[in-house]
Amino acid sequence: MPSSCQDIRAALAQCLQESDCVMIYRNKPGDCLRPPLIDTMPTKCQQLKKGYGECKRGMVDMRKRFRGNQPIAVSKEIEGGAQDPGNQLYAGKPAFSSTAKETSGNEPIEKDWRELENEKFRKGL
């Protein structure tokens, strides 16, 4: 488990080494990650810093400790893959995937069962 954040840490280090803050202005990488200079970093580096912090936090989060952190390489959000609305957070099949239907919002309003019974009664008179 200590190595679960190594890949994102390496990506953050690579991003820092290639940034203008380190290459041109000759600041230390640690200084570039702190508030005065973090705003000058590329968005990719800022996202990697946030992701690395969440990964480290996940190592002590009791909800994630049982399953461990998800490796960065299989994360669909980072790779830009399409998100499947049928997936759920935990393992297993979604409970109501086959019964729920998508709606467009233009469907006619279904009559209440009481209205249907009243119509049947009126027809009988």
* 40-78 exposure pattern, b = at least 16 Cβ within 10 A, e = fewer: ebeeebeebbebbeebeebeeeeebeeeebeebeeeeee
Q: Is residue 80 part of a domain?
A: no
- Assess contact for 5 and 55: CB atoms under 8 A: yes
Q: Is residue 98 part of a domain?
A: no
Range of the domain at 46: 5-74
Count of domains forming the chain: 1
Q: Is residue 47 part of a domain?
A: yes
pLDDT for residue 69: 66
Q: Residues 57-79: what's their mean pLDDT?
A: 65
Hey, what are 60's tokens? 């002590």
Tens of pLDDT, residue by residue over 1-55, are: 467 788 899 999 999 999 999 999 999 999 999 988 999 899 999 999 999 998 8
Q: Is residue 103 part of a domain?
A: no
Q: Is residue 22 part of a domain?
A: yes
pTM of the full structure: 0.53
Q: Is residue 109 part of a domain?
A: no
